[in-house]
Amino acid sequence: MPLFLATHGASASEVGLVAGLYPAVWGAAQIWTGHWSDRVGRKPLIAAGMLVQAAALALLAASGGAVSTAALAAVALGIGTALVYPTLIAAISDAVSPVARPPAVGIYRFWRDMGYVAGGLIAGVAADAIDYSGAIALVAALTAASGLWVMLDMPSVRAPRQGQARAAATDRAVG
């Protein structure tokens, strides 16, 4: 995003504003979305978050570098990421036993972080081959495909509420 905006004439302070909006919105909103996913389930938030991210990236790609539009895209991207980020880790935790959780989350985080590496390389090659807008549009398309895949393929399982989980564990222990 910073290179995209700078090539379209944005000042350093404008780039900083837009680049800062994304993690600010993401960080603040994920406090609420993590709790929300406990109530409504993981799948709706993951799918919606991926699709919101894709729409935000498509808006950014189409913005022509307009700072106001890029700022709006950064806010939407932060909202989408806040829907996805804590919910994916919670979904991993839901799927495995407490004993298996640390290695499962570690493996998930390894592959997720490797996605940042591969994604950066792919986006850089795409930006050189086409342009920044095209590279951002490519990431938007891949993100939308991921969101649609989650909608179609991820099982819908609601996590039990804390009290329900304790009661179930007590029932199993008493037996």
Domains, the chain, in order of start with CATH, read 2-168 (1.20.1250.20)
57-60: Cβ within 8 A, 24+ apart: 57/136, 57/137, 57/139, 57/140, 57/143, 58/137, 58/140, 60/1, 60/4, 60/136
pLDDT at 157: 66
**pTM more than 0.95:** no
Mean pLDDT, the chain, integer: 88
- CA dist., res. 153 & res. 174, Å (int): 36
User: With contact defined as beta carbons under 8 Å apart, do 104 and 95 qualify?
Assistant: yes
> 42 versus 161: which is more confidently predicted?
42
- CA dist., res. 25 & res. 19, Å (int): 11
For the purposes of burial, counting CB atoms within 10 Å of the CB of 171, is it exposed (0-12), middle (13-18) or buried (19 or more)?
Answer: exposed
pLDDT at 55: 98
- CA dist., res. 82 & res. 34, Å (int): 8
